[in-house]
């Protein structure tokens, strides 16, 4: 079954005739971990906002579970690069804000239990519940943002370069966390993960989609079977992954060169 069906979608911002996304068609199936890869500024984040319902296609149709996306939904949880936390609210209050929208008939104590459990799932102590974001490191704030999405149990995780602003060690730990959360359920959630990092895409995804430079089109689309995946330790020595890395870099560089000559 397909979570998303894209039918010839194009997008330009209001009062602009410049296309950001041009005539994209594809399907994304339930349980896929899709990394959308491409050069900065190619329209990756714009595409994610279309999946989220924060933008609506200028042309074509984008369907989620066979229904046209017309607005945002808690079934499609979004994790942003800048964490998306209200700074005047504690970590727990940020999570509770989402929970109160999701579970309107549950009492506060029940919701607080869900919030604390979601913090523990991402490796945070329950004391973080009462802590303001400014007192948390960038990695901890991003864990809170992931916990916020986890708490409402969405059908799809949409992640917009969530680790792009973090140091290499913290980024690696959070990559491992996302894979652990994705792998732990027999029925996997769909993840659409935006990145410009080739190695991140190879490590995380079981499907990689590459967008060309704006106006974006899909210039590469490859599924990676689970038995082809490799560990972090072997990421730079596994022959298949090395060939895939070279292929991706060549495709992206070729697109840049061709667009520069136009």
Q: What are the tens digits of pLDDT across the range 32-55?
A: 999 999 988 888 999 999 999 999
Residue 66 CB partners (closer than 8 Å, separation 6+):
5
Task: Give the pair of three-digit tokens for residue 226.
Answer: 């689970």
Three-state DSSP string of 166-196: CCHHHHHHHHHHHHHHHHCCCCCCEEEEEEC
* CB-based contacts of 31, cutoff 8 Å, min separation 6: 187, 188, 189, 190
What is the value of pTM for the model shown? 0.94
Residue/partner pairs of 224-233 with CB below 8 Å, 24 or more apart: 232/172, 232/176, 232/203
- For the chain, domains (ranges, CATH) are 1-75+156-167+190-262 (3.40.50.300)
- Examine the pLDDT at 262 and tell me if it is beyond 60: no
Q: Is 117 helix (H, G, I), strand (E, B) or coil?
A: helix
Mean pLDDT of 169-194: 91
Tokens representing residue 182 in the block:
């994705």
Q: What is the mean pLDDT of residues 181-187?
A: 85
């Amino acid at each position: 079954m397909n979570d998303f069906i894209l039918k010839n979608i194009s997008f330009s911002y209001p009062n602009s005739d410049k296309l950001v996304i041009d005539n994209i068609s594809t399907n994304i199936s339930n349980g896929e971990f899709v990394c959308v890869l491409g050069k900065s500024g190619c329209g990756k984040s714009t595409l994610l906002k279309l999946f989220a319902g924060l933008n609506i296609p200028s042309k074509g149709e984008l369907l989620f579970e066979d229904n046209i996306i017309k607005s945002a939904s808690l079934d499609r949880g979004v994790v942003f690069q800048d964490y998306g936390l209200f700074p005047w609210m504690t970590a727990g209050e940020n999570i509770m804000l989402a929970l109160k929208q999701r579970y309107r008939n549950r009492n506060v104590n029940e919701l607080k239990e869900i919030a604390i459990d979601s913090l523990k799932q991402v490796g945070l102590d329950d004391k973080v519940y009462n802590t303001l974001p400014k007192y948390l490191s960038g990695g901890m704030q991003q864990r809170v943002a992931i916990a916020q999405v986890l708490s409402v149990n969405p059908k799809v995780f949409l992640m917009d370069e969530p680790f792009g602003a973090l140091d290499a060690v913290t980024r690696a730990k959070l990559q491992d966390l996302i894979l652990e959360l994705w792998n732990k359920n027999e029925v996997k959630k769909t993840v659409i993960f935006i990145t410009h990092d080739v190695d991140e895409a190879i490590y995380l995804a079981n499907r990689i989609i590459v967008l060309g430079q704006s106006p974006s089109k899909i210039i590469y689309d490859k599924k990676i079977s689970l038995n082809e995946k490799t560990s972090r330790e072997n990421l730079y020595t596994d022959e298949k992954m090395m060939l895939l890395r070279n292929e991706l870099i060549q495709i992206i560089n070729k697109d840049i060169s061709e667009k520069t000559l136009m």
